[in-house]
Structure 1
Amino acid sequence: MTRRNEAARQAILTAAYDLVGEIGYSKLSVEGIATRAGVGKQTIYRWWPSKGAVLLDALLLTVGGPAGDLPDTGDLEADLRTILFATVDEFADPGVDAVMRGLIAEIAHDPGLAALYAERVDGPVRELKRRRLRAAQEAGQIDPDLDLDAAVDLLWGPLLSRWLQRAGPLDHDFAARTISMALSGMSRKM
């Protein structure tokens, strides 16, 4: 990609991220993104099929995509606190909140965007979570027969649900209680 194209790409992603925070997803348009970025809307459609796809890339640019393994200090509870507290902090960020809510709304109606999100975000992140829990199984910290996908949902599902529905405070205390309850359910069978 040429420098000019990369500059335009960055301007588009920044414009989309900023605009969704200012006006909300329902009012966000490709035309508005193009105007803010100083490009033609055809430039956006050359690289992305929809405003949702632009937002996905804007989110990945801002918070980063899945990278490396999750913390593994040998203390599963401490590691989960680090990970879930970071998740709570991301949800509390107004920019991330606006972009994620927009993406979730669009994913519900756009199977192509849902597949792209699953491929680029949810699938890789879920694998990182399973890998960390698998290491805990191998270390004898949790039940060796535990369904790892169910365990991932048990740990992260309450945070996502509370955030999505705005159903009470989503803070470190809630995350810590979720971890404690989940770990007691995942403990090794005697």
Structure 2
Amino acid sequence: MNEHRSGPVRSTAAREAILDATARLFHNQGYDRLTIEGIAKEAGVGKQTIYRWWPSRGALIGECLAEGRLIPVDLVVPDTGDLVADVAAWLRTVMSLVDAPEGGALLRSLVSAATEDAGVGTHLTESLGVEEHLSERLRAGIRDGQLPADAPVDQIGAAILGAIIVQSLGRRSGETGSLEQLVRFLFA
């Protein structure tokens, strides 16, 4: 007797297979070589199944980011009471990911994906903890008198993220010190 599986079970399994395949192929090939056809083949589903849930490969990458499948570390900014030291510690953690084998390529691929799908950029910022953790720590710095009351928290976070991305795009690894110098300057 042949048992019929219900739709939701199949959908959950297919969704997981698609996201797993996307993350695996993204890590192995980068964004430029990632195709919906390749993802469908790797996941064992049809392209129409993918397009039913996601309108583009960028949307798929965004969801993989949001679920921690591409950057699996929660990048919390410590709060020791020393804003500069705390942001520098977070920066060292981020840069250790970027400087790791394949880390720079991953970030460059994510930036490339973000040029086609704004959601990827939003999820990248969230995955690196910029909006939640860094901005929260900067607000605490304002509260503790380590930053002026009118410090543009979101713009400072964006500037630091931009410096990380520019360094990665220039393939300049191991220059965490120059980014820490930027942080000290911004908070002086």
Instruction: Answer whether TM exceeds 0.5 for this pair.
Output: yes
Aligned ranges 1:45-64 → 2 under 5 Å: 45-61=51-67, 62=69, 63=71
Q: 1:38 to 1:30 in 2, by over 3 A?
A: same
Distance in 2 of aligned mates of 1:96 and 1:56 = 17
Q: 1:118 to 1:183 in 2, by over 3 A?
A: same
**Residue 86 of structure 2 corresponds to residue 79 of structure 1:** yes
**Residue 187 of structure 2 corresponds to residue 180 of structure 1:** no
Deviates more, 1:125-134 or 1:73-82: 125-134
TM-score, normalised relative to structure 1: 0.76
Q: 1:90 to 1:5 in 2, by over 3 A?
A: farther
Aligned ranges 1:138-153 → 2 under 5 Å: 138-153=143-158
Q: Which runs of 4+ in 1 moved over 4 A?
A: 64-67, 93-99, 118-121
Distance in 2 of aligned mates of 1:49 and 1:126 = 25
How far residue 172 of structure 1 moved from its aligned partner, in angstroms, is 3.7
The aligned amino acid for 2:86 is: D
Distance in 1 of aligned mates of 2:99 and 2:145 = 34
**Residue 142 of structure 2 corresponds to residue 137 of structure 1:** yes
Distance in 1 of aligned mates of 2:60 and 2:106 = 10
Would you tell me which structure has more helix in proportion to its own residues?
1
The corresponding residue for 2:125 is: 122
Distance in 1 of aligned mates of 2:73 and 2:123 = 8
Distance in 1 of aligned mates of 2:154 and 2:64 = 28
- 1:22-56 Cα shifts (integer Å, max 9, x gaps): 23322211010010111111111111001111112
> Do 2:61 and 2:120's aligned partners in 1 also have CA atoms closer than 8 Å?
no
Distance in 2 of aligned mates of 1:7 and 1:34 = 13
The corresponding residue for 1:188 is: none
> Do 1:59 and 1:96's aligned partners in 2 also have CA atoms closer than 8 Å?
no
How far residue 175 of structure 1 moved from its aligned partner, in angstroms, is 3.5
The corresponding residue for 1:35 is: 41
**Residue 173 of structure 2 corresponds to residue 169 of structure 1:** yes
- Segments of 5+ residues of structure 1 without an aligned counterpart are 185-190
Q: For the aligned residues, what is the CA RMSD? A: 2.9
Distance in 2 of aligned mates of 1:119 and 1:153 = 11
- Segments of 5+ residues of structure 2 without an aligned counterpart are 1-6
Percent identity reads 34
The corresponding residue for 2:3 is: none
Size of the alignment, in residue pairs?
178
Deviates more, 1:96-105 or 1:13-22: 96-105
